[in-house]
């Protein structure tokens, strides 16, 4: 059994730009406990009124890692300097590799801005190993229908495999290191077990509902951090529940971050800032 090390709860909400009310459940400033994951923001659920003014985050840079945006409600519009672009609807995922430097913008789509509605999403930052930090930027536009669904035994629920593997299903997201991203819908009062890789960092985020993980009661919006040893996680939902499970092989490399840049040394951070200021990370539409 993979034991729970601690639970993160009661995280206050703050705004990113004017479009994303988020709870930052962890960040790279918390140290290597979450390695290879660097940050997780849970946005919403938040009801936006109709507006004529677009909402979101204007052009900004990243370097040294990947951003993963999983949209549950609402609609987003993305553009970046690698040429990546797309509108995300419920269930869609964008996996952006910043690599050696990228700039991007992320707003509510024009239609969603005009009509208003509920927004709910997760943004995850995944570290790149030192050997892959110089990789060219790229963008994976992954649609809801691309993700395989796996039924849990005894009708306990269903898992949408975004990345990695579960019960012979493989997610379509391409990753640089071994990572699992599982979107799980649980039915109430049926116990189930997940087999996770031993040695991996393992995180479980409750997004809706309440459940018992091993012997620990969890509710929205709480994050359980598991020990790396062991493999099984036992779940039993008290009501219908939606959870996100992340596992990843630790990189065990130095983490030095400043704002939107995460590298291995302070000198590399200075270089990233200079590259951005010199326009070396490109322009959107250029």
C-alpha–C-alpha distance, residues 83 and 213, integer Å: 42
**Which residues have CB under 8 Å from 215's CB, separation 6+?**
none
**Which residues have CB under 8 Å from 224's CB, separation 6+?**
4, 6, 7, 8, 203, 204, 213, 216, 218
C-alpha–C-alpha distance, residues 205 and 234, integer Å: 14
Between the CA of residue 228 and those of 25, 211, 255, what are the distances in Å? 19, 21, 19
pLDDT at residue 285, rounded to an integer: 78
* Blockwise average pLDDT, block size 10, the chain, 286 residues: 95 96 95 95 96 95 98 97 94 97 97 97 98 97 97 96 96 98 97 96 97 95 97 95 98 96 98 96 85
Cα angle 173, 176, 127; round to 5: 100
The two three-digit tokens of residue 280, written as one number: 């070396």
**Which residues have CB under 8 Å from 30's CB, separation 6+?**
none
pLDDT at residue 286, rounded to an integer: 59
- Name the maximum alpha-carbon separation found in the chain: 57
Q: Which pTM does this prediction carry?
A: 0.96
């Amino acid at each position: 059994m993979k034991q729970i090390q601690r639970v993160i709860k009661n995280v206050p909400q703050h705004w990113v730009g004017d479009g994303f009310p988020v709870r930052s459940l962890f960040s790279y400033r918390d140290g290597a406990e979450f390695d290879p994951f660097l940050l997780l923001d849970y946005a919403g659920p938040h009801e936006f009124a109709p507006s004529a003014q677009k909402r979101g985050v204007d052009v900004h840079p990243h370097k040294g890692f990947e951003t993963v945006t999983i949209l549950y409600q609402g609609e987003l519009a993305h553009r970046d300097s690698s040429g990546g672009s797309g509108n995300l609807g419920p269930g869609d995922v964008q996996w952006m590799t910043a690599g050696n430097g990228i700039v991007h913008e992320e707003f509510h789509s024009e239609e969603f801005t005009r009509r208003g509605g509920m927004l709910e999403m997760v943004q995850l930052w995944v570290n790149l190993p030192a050997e892959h930090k110089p990789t060219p930027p790229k963008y994976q536009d992954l649609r809801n229908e691309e993700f395989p669904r796996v039924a849990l035994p005894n009708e306990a629920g269903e898992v949408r495999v975004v990345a990695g593997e579960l019960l012979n299903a493989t997610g379509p997201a391409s990753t640089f290191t071994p990572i699992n991203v599982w979107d799980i819908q649980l039915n109430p009062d049926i116990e189930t077990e997940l087999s996770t890789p031993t040695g991996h960092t393992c995180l479980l985020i409750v997004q809706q509902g309440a459940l018992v993980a091993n012997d620990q009661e969890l509710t929205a919006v709480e994050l359980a951090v598991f020990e790396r040893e062991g493999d099984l996680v036992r779940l039993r939902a008290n009501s219908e529940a939606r959870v996100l499970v992340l596992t990843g092989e630790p990189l065990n490399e130095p983490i030095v971050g400043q704002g939107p840049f995460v590298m291995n040394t302070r000198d590399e951070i200075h270089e990233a800032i200079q590259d951005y200021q010199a326009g070396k990370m490109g322009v959107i539409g250029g």
